[in-house]
Homo-oligomer: A and B are copies of this chain.
């Protein structure tokens, strides 16, 4: 291995809402056991990056931070004991990995509840002060530090780094959520609320899993056209219809019963009540997008009288990342994933990309470092 530089250029947020500054950040000389250092190749932008930048997240952020958390990097140096990725694949210097938040493997949620996504000791990227060791805990950076307990999954050779970064936050959340909802029968009609990255990736998934009909509710029209390419049989615009009209359309294709499965990826509280109405009696409702603090009016008898089962799903674990990469590897020629990457930016242009993401001019821009 050739000698590493001592500093990495990275996009640093020092004050909420202000532009990110490209700074020189130290590359840690010491790599802890279980940790690794990577040369970042791609890091796509997520809505959460924008929320953090704008200071509107409810989570604690220790400014200054390096933003970006959907990063794919090539392993440059590894700490002792690193020879496998998080799902058992061989891992060597030179391999590309998708890496992510930590799971301790030792808390109640990791071992007893078997839900590592709920780990009590979770540490996530882009929330920690970049002036302290190990500095490089964000994705818009030349180099990145893979924390000892951080998940890391080898990227299959046939998957580009920019597509792999899609498999991070967005696709792994979809894979994790779908694993919870149980089997989809070939007779099942599935309604997907939301045509953002998660909604589109969910549509492709549900199509691959053999649903009878995939219905996507979302906006704008251009996004719904994309949804059709991602497997939707029926697209219902949310901006030009009433809830009653949407319900009518769903009933029309379900013998008047409603959808067997509804999946929410909108982030809009009102979608929750609408989802309950779109589901048939005895149906399943998967809720993923409801992450805000907002409250709204709701009639809980819908859940009882319709005998619904509701699954809340949050984030994903190593297994979900692995499933995401396998999915994108197998399906990359069946769906136009590359159309989700609406822009490619150099690190120096990160503020342009962030601004456009904030203004809904992008689906998934990617920083190619």
Contacts and interface: CB of A to CB of B under 8 A. Distances in A.
A51 to B, nearest CB: 13
A313 B300 CA distance: 12
Interface stretch (A4-12, A179-187, A340-348): A179-187
Given A111-B317, A299-B295, A300-B269, A307 B87 contact: no
Nearest to A187: B326
A141 B39 CA distance: 49
Given A107-B88, A281-B109, A290 B304 contact: yes
Contacts of A294: 299, 301
Given A114-B114, A186-B205, A107 B84 contact: yes
A293 B297 contact: no
- Greatest chain B CB density within 10 A among A85, A303, A322 is at A303
Nearest to A208: B210
A145 interface: no
A312 B307 contact: yes
A327 to B, nearest CB: 5
A308 to B, nearest CB: 5
B212 A186 contact: no
Interface in A57-107: 84-89, 105-107
B300 A307 contact: no
A129 interface: no
B323 A186 contact: yes
Interface in A294-353: 294-314, 317-319, 322-323, 326-327, 330-331
11 contacts: A84-B107, A88-B107, A111-B116, A111-B317, A111-B319, A113-B280, A175-B186, A186-B209, A293-B299, A304-B314, A305-B314
